[in-house]
Amino acid sequence: MAETASPSPSPPARAERFVWLTARVLEQRLFAYHFLGGGDTPVERALAAYRNDDGGYGPALEPELRGPASQPLHTTHALGVLDRIGRCDSRHIEHVCRYLTRISTRDGALPALHPSARGYPVAPWLPVAGDPPSSLLATGPVVGVLHRNDAWHAWLFRATEYCWAAVDSLTDTHPYEVRAAFAFLEGVPDRPRAAAAAHRLGALVRDRGLVVLDPARAADTPVAPGYAPGEHHFAYDYATAPGALARGWFTDAELARSLDHLASLQRDDGGWPADAYVRAPGTAAESRPVVTLRALLTLRAHGWALD
Nearest to 12 by CA among 239, 255, 302, 300: 300
- At 5, is the pLDDT very low, low, confident or very high (cuts 50, 70, 90)? very low
Q: Indicate the pTM of the whole model.
A: 0.92
Residues 172-194: pLDDT tens digits? Answer: 899 999 999 999 999 999 999 99
- At 117, is the pLDDT very low, low, confident or very high (cuts 50, 70, 90)? confident
- Does pLDDT of 98 surpass 50? yes
CA 244 to chain centre: 14
- At 1, is the pLDDT very low, low, confident or very high (cuts 50, 70, 90)? very low
- Does pLDDT of 307 surpass 60? no
- Does pLDDT of 3 surpass 50? no
**266-271 mean pLDDT:** 95
- Write down the mean pLDDT value for the chain: 91
**259-276 mean pLDDT:** 91
Q: Of 45-54, 220-229, 255-264, 295-304, which range is least confident?
A: 220-229
- Does pLDDT of 4 surpass 50? no
How far, in Å, are 136, 145, 182, 186 from residue 140 at the CA level? 5, 9, 8, 10
Contact yes or no for 36/23 (Cβ under 8 A): no
**142-147 mean pLDDT:** 97
% of the chain beyond a pLDDT of 90: 75
- Does pLDDT of 18 surpass 60? yes
**276-297 mean pLDDT:** 84
Q: What DSSP assignment string belongs to the chain?
A: -PPPPPPPPPHHHHHHHHHHHH--HHHHHHHHHHHS---HHHHHHHHHTTB-TTSSB-TTSSTTS-SSS--HHHHHHHHHHHHHTT---HHHHHHHHHHHHHH--TTSS--SS-GGGTTS---TTS---SSPPP-HHHHHHHHHHHHHTT---HHHHHHHHHHHHHHHT--S--HHHHHHHHHHHHH-S-HHHHHHHHHHHHHHHHHTT-SBS-GGGGGGSPPPTTPPTT---BHHHH--STTSGGGGGS-HHHHHHHHHHHHHT--TTSPPPP-S---SHHHHHHHHHHHHHHHHHHHHHTT----
- Does pLDDT of 2 surpass 90? no
Tell me, what's the pLDDT at 304? 83
Residues 213-259: pLDDT tens digits? Answer: 999 999 888 888 878 888 899 999 999 999 999 999 999 999 999 99
**Residue 106: CB atoms within 10 Å:** 9
HEC string of 140-187?
A: HHHHHHHHHCCCCCHHHHHHHHHHHHHHHCCCCCCHHHHHHHHHHHHH
Cα 248 from Cα 292, distance rounded (Å): 25
Contact yes or no for 292/11 (Cβ under 8 A): no
**7-15 mean pLDDT:** 76
Nearest to 198 by CA among 179, 176, 224: 179
